Every structure is written in C-alpha cells, then in structure tokens.
C-alpha cells in the first residue's frame, strides 16, 4: 500500500510521463484485447482503452487543478458545446452495436449491410431510417459505425504524429548542431509537397485501405509538429531552471522530460486537438476519391462518394435524394466542429502560464 501511494504521488508530480506510460499500456492492451483470430485487429479496442486511461488520469489529477480546469471551461461556453458534441459522438461510437446492430451472419461489423444492387437510392423508411445510398447501402448503419472509423483515424493518426514530433522535435531543439540541421532539412523535404497530394501518392503506392490512409496522414503530418515543438524547446532550453538542472548534474533525458517538455508541449497539444478534425476531413477526402476504405466499409467519406451522382436529385425534384449527402455531411460537420471548439478550451486548460495567474 505504501509503495502504491508512492507511485501515485510520482505520477501526479510528472503528468507528462504519466500520459506516455498509460498510452503505452493502452496500445499494448488494445492490441491484445482487440485481436480477433479470424478477422484481425479491432482498432476501436485501442481507442477505447486510450480514452479509458485518459479518464483514469483525470482522477489522478489534483483537486485544485480540476477546479481550475472547470473554471476555464465555464468562462468559454463554446468549449462546453465542443465537449458536449464530442461526448455525443463518443456515446454513438461506444454503443454502435446497440444503436445499429450487426445483421445476423455478418462477419465484419464495419461492412455496411446492403439490400440489393439497385443504383437508385431509396428514401428513408421504417426499415432504413436514413434511406439507402447508391448500391443500396444503409445510410444509418454507415454513419453510426463510421463514427468509430472517424475516432480511430483521428486519434491514432494524431497520437502517432505527436509521438514522432515530440521525439524528433525534442532532439533537434535541445541538442542543436548537426542533429538539428539534419532533422530540419528532412522536415523541409516533406513540407515541400502539398500534404493531400503526397498522401494520395502514398496511399496509391501502398494499396488503398484505412491503414494506408492512416500511415499516409502520419507521414505528411509529423514535420509540422516536429518544427513546432523544436521552436518551443529552443526558447525553453535557455531558461534559468534548465541551467539549474544542468548545474546539479541532471542528465539530458531528465532535463528534457522533467523541465523542458512540460513547458513546451502545450501549443502542440492544442494544435493536435484542432488537427483531429482536419485529419478526419482528409481521410474522408481520400475515401471520396476512392483511395480510402474498401467499398461498403463504414466511412463517412465513402458514403458521400456514393451520393455524388445524386446530389442534384431527379429532374424536376432537385432534393429527391438529399439524405444521401446531407446526413453523412452533417456527421462530418459536427465532428470537426466539436474538435475545433475544444482547441481554445485545451489552450486555456493546459497552458501553465495561465494557471499561474
């Protein structure tokens, strides 16, 4: 019991190390628990465990810090709107098997059930609440299970980009010299290409799939985070507390993890909260172009792709098939809006300079 209290105390003292530790445990357990011997990995297990551990970290945080967080949220009502929107989507993703049950005999729950092969969409009915798309894919099932796909893509891509950006940005900013020059020139090469075009080329080279989309978005996104973190570390490494840590013989690793990163990482975290929506938009764009999920996979971008031949409706009735594009479009709109509204809230909550006022 004494040792447990000691470790909890240490976790509270160093929240950054706590986040890294619990994310590592989440991913490891997610890979183990999500392993289906017949169908591969269920990435939602990883995402759910990451969010569960985030809630556990929330419990570890000091009561005074929690009061400050709630105070900052109350000062910005739009932040509460963002939190509410994301919680609604998380509820939908978590209870997707209840809201949109997988048909009996369906092997892959992410494969949208279809009622025939007619190219003409069917209007909403009691059997298909949001109607069907071209090819008779159920829109309701697609948008509900597509919420899981959106969380998987957004959180996994941004999580990996943050890890790469933190590691490379910290090394470049703290040590400088030839290491800094080499890493920054590599980032310049990646930044020279338009991100979406480079992502398209990578997906085509790897064969279109959700995993290829995530890998492509990770490759095109990490240089921005590495540059951002490197710039903040360049400013922080000259502070007095860093010089004091060097003076008492602290190792470079300890100085980076305990003193430099905790005061440099917050802009990157705020940017990450905003970029989750942007990543989902980019993944939807790739799916719309036929470079994302396989046909029939529960993905918002692909649902809109099914609707592109019916956006203008039928002759004399331009709104005949409004549901095919409007419903998945609204899901994308509110998902991205929720994360964008959270950006300012994360800045107010995570910035240590505001906490000292």
Would you kindly state where each structural domain of the chain is located, as residue ranges? 1-61, 87-355
The angle at the Cα of 82, spanning 77 to 83, to the nearest 5 degrees, equals 95
What is the spatial distance between Cα 154 and Cα 133, in angstroms, rounded to a whole number? 25
pLDDT reported for residue 41: 43
* Residue (of 143, 287, 150, 140) closest to 213 by Cα position: 287
* Helical pair 43-60 and 77-94, crossing angle rounded to 10 deg: 140
Query: Coil, strand, or helix at residue 35?
Result: strand
Residue count of the chain: 357
The angle at the Cα of 315, spanning 312 to 320, to the nearest 5 degrees, equals 55
Q: What DSSP character marks residue 261?
A: G
What is the spatial distance between Cα 281 and Cα 301, in angstroms, rounded to a whole number? 8
The correct CATH number of 87-355 out of 1.10.3720.10, 3.40.47.10, 2.60.120.650, 3.40.50.10420 is 1.10.3720.10
User: What is the full per-residue pLDDT of the chain (357 aa) written as tens digits?
Assistant: 555 555 556 555 555 555 555 555 555 554 444 443 333 345 555 555 555 555 555 544 555 555 656 666 667 777 788 888 988 998 898 888 889 888 887 788 888 888 888 888 888 888 888 888 888 899 999 999 999 899 889 988 998 899 899 999 999 988 888 999 999 999 999 999 999 999 999 999 988 888 899 999 999 999 999 999 998 888 888 788 888 888 888 888 888 888 888 888 888 888 888 889 899 999 999 999 888 888 888 899 999 988 888 888 777 777 878 888 899 999 999 999 998 888 777 776 665 555 444
pLDDT reported for residue 18: 55
First vs last C-alpha separation in the chain: 36
The structure tokens 């419903």 sit at 327
Q: What is the DSSP string of 291-336?
A: SSSPTTBS-HHHHHHHHTTSTT-BTTBTTTTHHHHHHHHHHHHHHH
Query: Coil, strand, or helix at residue 114?
Result: strand
Q: What is the 3-state composition of the chain as percent helix, strand, coil, each rounded to the nearest 5?
A: 75, 5, 25
The H-or-E segment that residue 40 falls in is: strand 40-41
């Amino acid at each position: 019991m004494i040792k447990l209290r000691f470790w909890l105390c240490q976790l509270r003292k160093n929240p950054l190390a706590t986040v890294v530790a619990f994310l590592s445990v989440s991913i490891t357990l997610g890979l183990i628990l999500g392993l289906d011997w017949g169908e591969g990995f269920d990435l939602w297990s990883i995402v759910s465990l990451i969010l569960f551990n985030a809630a556990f970290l929330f419990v570890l945080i000091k009561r005074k810090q929690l009061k400050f967080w709630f105070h900052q949220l109350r000062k910005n009502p739009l932040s509460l709107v963002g939190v509410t929107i994301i919680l609604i989507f998380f509820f939908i993703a978590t209870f997707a098997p209840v809201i949109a049950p997988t048909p009996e005999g369906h092997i892959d729950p992410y494969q949208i059930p279809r009622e025939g092969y007619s190219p003409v969409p069917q209007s909403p009915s009691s059997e298909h609440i949001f109607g069907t798309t071209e090819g008779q894919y159920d829109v309701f099932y697609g948008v509900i299970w597509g919420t899981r796909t959106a969380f998987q893509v957004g959180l996994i891509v941004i999580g990996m980009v943050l890890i790469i950006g933190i590691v490379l940005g910290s090394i470049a900013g703290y040590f400088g010299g030839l290491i800094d020059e080499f890493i920054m020139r590599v980032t310049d090469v990646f930044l020279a290409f338009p991100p979406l075009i480079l992502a398209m080329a990578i997906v085509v080279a790897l064969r279109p799939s959700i995993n290829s989309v995530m890998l492509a978005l990770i490759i095109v996104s990490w240089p921005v985070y590495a540059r951002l973190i490197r710039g903040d570390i360049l400013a922080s490494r000259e502070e007095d507390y860093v010089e004091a840590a060097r003076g008492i013989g602290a190792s470079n690793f300890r100085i980076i993890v305990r003193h430099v990163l905790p005061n440099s990482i917050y802009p990157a975290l705020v940017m990450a909260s905003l970029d989750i929506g942007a990543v989902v938009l980019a993944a939807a764009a790739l799916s719309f172009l036929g470079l994302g999920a396989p046909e029939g996979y529960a993905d918002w971008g692909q649902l809109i792709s099914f609707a592109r031949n019916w956006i203008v409706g039928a002759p004399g009735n331009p709104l005949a098939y409004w549901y095919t594009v409007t419903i998945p479009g609204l899901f994308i709109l509110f998902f991205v809006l929720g994360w964008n509204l959270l950006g300012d809230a994360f800045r107010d909550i995570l910035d240590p300079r505001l906490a000292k006022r």
